[in-house]
Structure 1
Amino acid sequence: MSNPSPLPPQAILSPCVGICRLDARGYCEGCFRTGDEIARWRSMSDLERSHFMDVVLPAREPA
């Protein structure tokens, strides 16, 4: 019996939820990214995207 080949790593998807308005702080009301972060998202490395998804964006969510 042969081992199945491992699945390729999944690309980190965008945190966009379709609510695309910047608040007074400059954060998107839907995904909590800045306009610059939204513009750069496609060119970010997976490591940078992962950091945003796991650390930066959760810290920006309202309490």
Structure 2
Amino acid sequence: MQQLEFFSVPSPCVGVCTVDEKGYCQGCMRKREERFGWLDMTPDQQRHVIKLCQQRYKRKMAKNKLNPDQKTSAIELDNPQQDLF
């Protein structure tokens, strides 16, 4: 039996809708399919996508620390998405 949901899962969108070289939104770290299908997902699926976004952001930040010569955009340094994590 599935548990009743009283509150919808808020969209992780922060209004920074640009895509990086891997196809992830630089604001929320979602893939195109995850962004466009957000409203059709169940709350469990939405929470799973948010977890994936957290992991993607951490990997991206770790990669930037390993490669300090890489230019980091202001969006990545001051990512408003982190308030949701």
Residue aligning to 1:28: 25
Identity of aligned residues (%): 33
Distance across 2 between alignment mates of 1:38 and 1:32: 9
TM-score, scaled relative to structure 2: 0.61
Residue aligning to 1:56: 52
TM-score, scaled relative to structure 1: 0.80
| Structure whose CA Rg is larger | 1
Segments of 5+ residues of structure 2 without an aligned counterpart are 62-85
Name the count of aligned residue pairs.
Answer: 55
Mapping for residues 7-18 of structure 1, pairs under 5 Å: 9-18=6-15
Dislocated runs of 4+, deviation >3 Å: none
Name which structure has the greater RCO, CA cutoff 8 Å, separation 6+.
Answer: 2
The structure in which a higher percent of residues are helix is 2
